[in-house]
Amino acid sequence: MDRRFGELSPPERLLMGPGPANVEPRVLRAMALPVVGYFDPFLFEVMEEIKELLRYVFRTRNELTLPVSGTGSAGMEAVIYNLVERGDEVVVGVNGFFGARMAEMVERAGGKAIGVKTSLGKPIAAEAVEEALKNSNAKLVALVHGETSTGVLQNLEKISRIVRSYGALLVVDAVTTLGGCELEVDKLGIDACYSCSQKCLSCPPGLAPITLSERAMEKIRERKSKVQSWYLDIGLIEKYWMGAERSYHHTPPVSMLYGLREGLRVVYEQGIERRWEQHRINSEALVAGLEAMNLELLVEKEHRLPPLIAVKIPDGIQDQAVRKQLINEYGIEIGGGLGELKGRIWRIGVMGVNAREKNIIYLLSSLEKVLAAEGYGVKLGKACEAASIFYNGLVHRQTT
């Protein structure tokens, strides 16, 4: 027998990059359960529970709330391709790699993307969105809530009011924020929101949760043309996921559905507000350690995305050399920059099951050692001390 094809034995990694994050062990156990057919009553029960749990995590009562089969980009395509028809004007906030991807998808759907741009590391200004609406026929505004390429958290409250005053629909990319920081779909008046399974929900990549308001569904039902993607046609997917008479669309990834249900159940048991707080606390501890190393962050504190911190690479330090040492010597993955920020920043994820004190301390300790070996002036132990002081202060405040 050819010995090249032995049993897989992946290396153990601490995935502290922009995603995927490490998978919750309970999720892996759930995914090992027996597969059933796509019309099995048991699977329909699982699907109903997933919808209910997703409504809890999205903070919505939207009937159309379900996971699309595919990664976060499939969620993006599903939302945009269903809501955009040829000739439609769409205001798109572009302050990073994924805002630009949304704009490209609008164009691929036959629409016209009206880009509202700002510098990398900055949020989109509400006034700029209003100006774009005022000078266009756009009835759709698309924004990234947490821009994964820069670590910017977009405030949505004022923009949401502006969008609604113009009678437009609001589309939000929550790929890095769902389950990781405060997101209130109904309270914010978000009409369409999509995310992914592999980040703050601590599941493997492969599903894209989406939720659509009744206003968004009305626009989809009133389309003059067919959705350009058969696979992501919400009207067809809805017939399988909703109602008593279910009709086959595509074979669902049953094991992934088991996993998502369990991941959502973990969030539900913890409580969504506590989940948000978990990410905020561990992100702030990480920042305390990074600043103790005199590393500069890309995003100002008030706009910083808790699950993803962007760190400027110091002069004279090689991006690839540091990341290679981290993964080879310590088993830690962090991300590099995308597009214009390639080679200029590291992206450190604080997501899901990885948002824990022991992981933050281990990462800071390892990063200190690697930077010192690369010639960066850092005092070993200082970063971990700063993070520990933050954690200890938190415990003190909670007990007094």
Other residues' Cβ atoms within 10 Å of the Cβ of residue 35: 13
0.75 cut: is pTM over it? yes
In this structure, are residues 321 and 332 in contact, taking their beta carbons and an 8 Å threshold? no
Residue 112 above 50 pLDDT?
A: yes
What local confidence, expressed as pLDDT, does residue 245 receive?
A: 86
Other residues' Cβ atoms within 10 Å of the Cβ of residue 340: 13
What local confidence, expressed as pLDDT, does residue 243 receive?
A: 79
Residue 242 tokens, joined: 């909703």
For residue 167, the 8-state DSSP code is T
Nearest to 387 by CA among 275, 250, 292: 292
Domains of the chain: 25-269 (3.40.640.10), 272-399 (3.90.1150.10)
Residue 244 above 90 pLDDT?
A: no
What local confidence, expressed as pLDDT, does residue 86 receive?
A: 97
Give the pLDDT confidence of 317-358 residue by residue, as tens digits. Answer: 999 999 999 999 999 999 999 999 999 999 999 999 999 999
Residue 199 above 50 pLDDT?
A: yes
| Confidence band, pLDDT 50/70/90 cuts, at residue 398 | low
For residue 172, the 8-state DSSP code is E
What local confidence, expressed as pLDDT, does residue 205 receive?
A: 98
Residue 23 tokens, joined: 């998978």
Residue 396 above 80 pLDDT?
A: no
162-201: b or e for each residue (b if 16 or more CB lie within 10 Å)?
Answer: bbeebebbbbbbbbbbbbbbbbebeebbbbbbbbbbbbbb
Residue 270 tokens, joined: 């913890």
Q: Is 358 helix (H, G, I), strand (E, B) or coil?
A: helix
Quote the mean pLDDT of the chain.
96
Other residues' Cβ atoms within 10 Å of the Cβ of residue 379: 12
| Confidence band, pLDDT 50/70/90 cuts, at residue 400 | very low
